[in-house]
């Protein structure tokens, strides 16, 4: 089973102008929490599997970012989130419901779903290799997952990597490609930050 790092296509724009500082202020008005508390939640959300649905107001509208409206992608990464058009959400919701949460958003009035992934894959620690720079730990040089653990997970993150990347197996890749959904690429290099 092949594992892939999910990336956006090269030279593309984030779909929405997702400013977490401004969003934290907005969510604070609806929740009673301080903006700084919510900002801290966003900054540590991937690593600590923080949920936002209890804070999320209906009708949250964002502007498209740059030329994102023109690029018209079906599904994209937005930090550790995925953002998808409604037909993609309908296609994937049953498969993703038990591994994350769906946050409704609008992009200049167009309904979309922000997917917050809340699932880790179990690393095969004896096959992972830490990278060192001048005697100090500097990330990972090699990342491998336990096949038995990830075979039933459509998407997952890595605690060892820092939960900043989104991973999948052939199953998710095949769903995206067989439905001719635009916006994602699948990289077999699990640690490469570039497209």
Rounded to an integer, the average pLDDT of 150-163 is: 96
Torsions phi, psi for 63 (to 5 deg): -85, 150
Burial of residue 88 (number of CB atoms within 10 Å: 0-12, 13-18, 19+):
buried
The whole-number pLDDT of residue 138 equals 82
Predicted TM-score of the model (pTM) = 0.93
CA distance 50 to 47: 8
Mean residue pLDDT of the chain comes to 94
Residue 115: pLDDT band (50, 70, 90) is very high
Q: Summarize pLDDT for 166-183 with one digit per residue, the tens.
A: 999 999 999 999 999 999
Stretch 42-54: mean pLDDT: 96
Ranges of beta strands (E only) in 75-145 are 75-78, 81-85, 100-107, 110-117, 129-133, 136-142
């Amino acid at each position: 089973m092949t594992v892939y790092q999910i990336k956006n296509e090269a030279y593309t724009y984030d779909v929405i102008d997702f400013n977490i500082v401004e969003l934290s202020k907005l969510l604070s008005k609806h929740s009673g929490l301080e903006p700084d508390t919510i900002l801290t939640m966003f900054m540590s959300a991937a690593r600590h599997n923080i949920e936002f649905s209890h804070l999320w107001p209906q009708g949250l509208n964002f502007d498209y970012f740059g030329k994102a409206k023109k690029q018209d992608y079906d599904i994209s990464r937005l930090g550790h989130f995925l953002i998808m058009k409604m037909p993609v959400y309908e296609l994937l919701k049953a498969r993703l419901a038990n591994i994350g949460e769906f946050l409704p958003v609008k992009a200049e009035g167009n309904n979309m779903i922000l997917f917050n992934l809340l699932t880790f894959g179990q690393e095969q620690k004896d096959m992972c290799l830490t990278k060192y720079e001048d005697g100090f730990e500097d990330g990972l040089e090699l990342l491998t997952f336990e096949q038995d653990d990830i075979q039933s997970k459509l998407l997952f993150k890595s605690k060892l990597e820092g939960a900043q990347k989104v991973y999948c197996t052939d199953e998710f890749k095949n769903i995206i490609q067989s439905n001719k959904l635009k916006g994602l690429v699948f990289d077999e290099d699990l640690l490469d930050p570039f497209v």
